[in-house]
Structure 1
Amino acid sequence: MKHFIVLFLSTFLVFNCSEDQSSEEEKVNYVWKLTEWSLKESIDLNNDGEATSSFVPGCLNGSRIYFSDSENASVFISSDVTFYQDHESLDYAMSCSTSSDRPAVEITYSKNGDEIILNTPDGIFNGYFEGNDLLVEIPEGFEVLDNVTFETVLTMDLTLKFSKEE
C-alpha cells in the first residue's frame, strides 16, 4: 500500500509540474549576449548615404544579461556610447568609452509567458522572448547630441536584441 501511495504521489507530482514552467525557467536561465540594436526609424548613422534601422553592437559587443535566479539578474554594458551630430553637415559621429573594470548592474525582473519586465536603476523596461532571442525595448533610449552645444537633437525608441549564449 505504501508503494502505491508513493507511486501515486510521484505520478501526481510529475504530471502536475507544468512543462511550461520548466521551459519558461530554461528560457531565462542563460547568459544573453547583445547581438544587435535597432531603432524604430531608419537613420544614416555611418554617413554612407543609406539609412538603416538595424545595427551591430560595435563597441557594445561585450554587453550581456546574466540571469541568476527567477527574480534577479545583472546587466553588463561594455561601453558608454554617445552619438553626436554635426549641426552644420548633419553627419553623425560616435564616441565609445570602454573600461575593463566596468561593474555589472544588479536588476530584478518578472516574467509572464514570453514577456519580461526588467526593473533597473535607470527605469522599468519591457521585453519579450522570440525564439532564442530576448528583445528589450527602451523608449527614447537612442539619443543624439549636437556636437557643439551638447543639447539633444534627436531621440528614438531603441530595441536591444540579446541572443542566448551557447
Structure 2
Amino acid sequence: MKKITYLLSLFVLLTAFTCEDEPLEGEFFEETNLSCEIAAQNTQNAAIAFLDVNDDNYTQLCTTYVNALVAEMEFCGDPDGSLQTQLDSLGNCDNGTQQDVEIPGTWLMTAWIGEEAIDLNNDGTESINFLDEMDCYNNETIVFNADNTGVMMSTSFATFMFDILVGTTNEYNYTIECELENENTNISWSQTGNTITIDDGTTVTEGTLNGNQLSLFIPEGFVAFSSDFTVTTIQDLTFVYTKQ
C-alpha cells in the first residue's frame, strides 16, 4: 500500500505538467526554473523507488522512471546526455527482471545513488546520482568469471571536502580531489535468484539484479569532510553496475 500511494503521488506530480488546456512550449520550460527542480526531484524519487524493483512491480516502476526522465529532459534539457543514457538503459520496460542475464562478463559502475541529492560540482543543480557530479570513478568494473571467481577493478579514488557558504548553515561548496589508482581485488561470487553475493575475502556484499543492472548497497559509502575537519557528512550509497 505504501508503494502504491507513493507511485500515485509521483504520477500526480508528473501529470500536473502535462494536463494543462494548452500544450507546454519550449519557451515555458526555459523560463520556469521551479518546474525543472520539481522534474529533477521526481526523477530522483523514481530512481530510488526503482532500486526496490521485483518481478511483480518492474513494469510499473520502470515506466514511472521513464516518464520522470522524459519530463526532466523536457523541463531541464540534457546537456551532457546523462539522462538519455539512463533512459536508454531502461529499454521498453518489458519486465527486465525476467530476462536471462548472464552474470559472467564485465560490469561497469554507472551510478552512485545517495540518500539525499547534493551539488558536488557546484553548478547550482543537485543530483542524487553522485557520479553525475564528478569526473572520477569513470572506469570502475567488476569482472565475473564463469567459475564463480572474479576481480573488482578500481582505477580512481576521490576525497571530498567542503566549506559552508557564508551566511548559510546547510549550503556547501565542494572540492573533489580525484586520484588515479590501479587496484584489483579478487572475489568469489554466487547467485540465488536475483541476489548476487560477492565475497572479497574480507567483506561479503549482497547485490540485487534488475535486468542488466546490479545494485550494491554500501553503508556509509560517501564521506565528506569540512575544510577544518570539524564537520563530517555521511550518506549510504547504492553502487549500480551495468552489464557491458
TM value normalised by structure 2: 0.52
Q: Which structure has the highest helix share of the two?
A: 2
**Which region of structure 1 is more displaced relative to structure 2, 50-59 or 71-80?**
50-59
Shift in Å at residue 85 of structure 1? Answer: 1.3
Q: Which structure has the highest strand share of the two?
A: 1
User: 8 Å contact 2:99–2:211 — kept in the other structure?
Assistant: no
Q: Which has the higher contact order (CA 8 A, sep 6+)?
A: 1
Q: Deviations over 1:52-90 (max 9, x none)?
A: 201336321111000113431110011011111125653
3-state SS of 2:102 partner: helix
Report the RMSD for the aligned CA atoms in angstroms.
2.4
Distance in 2, matches of 1:79 and 1:26, equals 28
| Percent identity (aligned) | 28
Aligned to 2:237: 158
User: 8 Å contact 2:158–2:179 — kept in the other structure?
Assistant: yes
Shift in Å at residue 51 of structure 1? Answer: 2.0
Aligned partner of 1:63 among 120, 131, 140: 140
TM value normalised by structure 1: 0.73
Q: Which amino acid in the other structure matches residue 178 of structure 2? A: C
Distance in 2, matches of 1:145 and 1:121, equals 29
User: 8 Å contact 1:39–1:157 — kept in the other structure?
Assistant: yes
Distance in 2, matches of 1:143 and 1:106, equals 25
Distance 1:119 1:25, change over 3 A: farther
Alignment of 1:16-35 (within 5 A): 27-35=102-110
- Runs of at least 5 residues in structure 2 that lack an aligned partner in the other structure: 1-97, 167-171
The ranges of structure 1 where at least 4 consecutive aligned residues each deviate by more than 3 angstroms after the TM superposition are 23-26
- Runs of at least 5 residues in structure 1 that lack an aligned partner in the other structure: 1-22
1:82 aligns with 2:164: no
Distance 1:115 1:24, change over 3 A: farther
Distance in 2, matches of 1:105 and 1:52, equals 29
Q: Which amino acid in the other structure matches residue 224 of structure 2? A: V
Distance 1:121 1:49, change over 3 A: farther
Structure ID, larger Rg: 1
Aligned partner of 1:114 among 187, 190, 194: 194
Q: Deviations over 1:121-154 (max 9, x none)?
A: 56222211111111111111111122233x6601
Distance 1:105 1:41, change over 3 A: same
Q: Which amino acid in the other structure matches residue 81 of structure 1? A: A
Distance in 2, matches of 1:45 and 1:122, equals 30
User: 8 Å contact 2:140–2:153 — kept in the other structure?
Assistant: yes
User: 8 Å contact 1:40–1:157 — kept in the other structure?
Assistant: yes
1:52 aligns with 2:131: no
**Size of the alignment, in residue pairs?**
140
Q: Which amino acid in the other structure matches residue 113 of structure 1? A: G
Distance in 2, matches of 1:142 and 1:152, equals 14
